[in-house]
Structures are given as C-alpha cells and as structure tokens.
Amino acid sequence: MAILIVDDSPDQHQLLRSMLTKAGHTDIVAADSAQAAFAILQPDDTRVPINIDLILMDVLMPDIDGIAACRQIKQSDQLRDIPVIMVTAKNDIENLKEAFSAGAMDYIAKPVNRIELLARVASALTLKREMDCRKEREADLRRSNEDLQQALKEVKALRGLIPICASCKKVRNDGGLWQQLEEYLGEHSDAQFSHGICQVCVKKLYPGVYPD
C-alpha cells in the first residue's frame, strides 16, 4: 500500500522513508509542500485514479500548513477516505484539536519514535484496507441492484401490448420479426418450456385415441 510523505525537510523525509522501508513499506511517495502533494493527489480531477493509501503530513510547512492541507484533502470526495496522520513538533492540546477537526485520524510527535510510527502506520493502513473492501462490496451491491432493475424492466415489458398472429400464434418482436411464442418468452424472461399436447389437440390430431 502506498504512503505519501508531505514534509518540507529533506532530513525528515529521509528519516521517515528509512524507518518505513526497513519495515517493509516500499511504495513511498514524497512531496516537499502541500502544493506538491496536491499535484500528486489531484483533488479536483475525478478522472485521475488515486493510488495513495496513507498520508503522513507535517504540520509546519510554508505557504499552506499541514492542517489546512488536511482540511482541503478531506473536502475532496475522492480523497476523503485516505487516512491522514499529522507529524508535528507542536503537540499541545489546541494544536491537536485543530488537526483532528480538520480530519486527521492520528498524530506522531517529533522527534519520531520508530515503534510509534510503525504502529500508527499499521493501524491506519488496516483501516484503509477495510474501507476499500467495504466500498468494493457496496459497488458490487450497486451493480447487482442495477442488473436486477434491468431484469425487472425486461420482465415488465411483457405486460405491454404484444402483437401475436391469430393463426400461427407467433409473436412479433421489437425488430419486426415473427418468433415462436416460447422463443420470445424465453428471451424476455427466465421461463423454461417443455412441450406436450393438450386433450383438445389430441382429439383433433389423433381422433382414434379418445372416443367422442
């Protein structure tokens, strides 16, 4: 799973990357500012697939600070489910409250402790994985509902006016062609047919079978 590190300090970048890589996290992307992160995430372009599963965001950055960047990310429909962990040297209550209010799920205090970092990253990635599975299940359910609605529409079409030949009992389909009744019904429903001969037709076709 891909991790985006947003920090204007090259040393901090290197430290976090080293800790994560040694723990087996090899898909790591770096940005040195909020604007550089937005260029990667493309929050305003719904056509761009998002391949980031976790963001480690420094709080103190020039131009746009980490809390403002987090708030903007959480306002994007396609980015709001990405967990954001704030990396901060300002761990006073008001600062943390502001970060959580912006949508951050957790924070890591500087100087970064390796065990704490890996534990919080593992927790965040587990949450993201579960959210992705839930969204996939919801998408499957929507597709199933759409298929069901389409099937119901096709079945309802049989309730309309169906031209049928008064002589041979063939049905005229939407393309103007005449089909056997059982063939037409088979294409427009899940019905299956077996063939037999009713008593009236038996008497007509085989008069010797039934006495008058």
The pLDDT tens digits for 61-77 are: 988 999 999 999 999 88
Place of tokens 């085989």: 206
When pLDDT is cut at 50, 70 and 90, the band that residue 212 belongs to is low
d(CA 73, CA 68): 9
Burial class (CB in 10 A: 0-12, 13-18, 19+), 45: exposed
d(CA 94, CA 13): 26
Quote the pLDDT of residue 17.
94
Per the structure block, which two tokens stand in for 123? 């927790």
Strand partners of residue 84? 55
| 10 prior amide bond cis, ω within 30 | no
Quote the pLDDT of residue 15.
94
Is 20's pLDDT higher than 90? yes
Average pLDDT over residues 109-127: 93
Q: How far apart are the first and last CA of the chain?
A: 82
Three-state SS at 171: strand
When pLDDT is cut at 50, 70 and 90, the band that residue 177 belongs to is confident
Average pLDDT over residues 25-43: 91
Do residues 82 and 104 make contact, with C-beta atoms less than 8 angstroms apart? Answer: no
Exposure string (b/e) for 94-116, b if CB count within 10 Å is 16 or more? ebbebbeebbbbbbbebeeeeee
Of 126, 147, 160, which Cα lies nearest the Cα of 1? 126
Quote the pLDDT of residue 47.
65
Three-state SS at 98: helix
Q: Each residue of 80-110: pLDDT tens digit? A: 899 999 998 877 788 888 999 999 999 999 8
Is 157's pLDDT higher than 70? no
Please tell me whether the overall predicted TM-score, pTM, comes out greater than 0.75 for this model. Answer: no
Mean pLDDT of the chain: 85
The residues, any chain, with a CB within 8 Å of residue 201's CB and separated by 6 or more, are: none
Per the structure block, which two tokens stand in for 29? 């992307």
Is 31's pLDDT higher than 80? yes
* In the chain, % of residues over pLDDT 70: 90
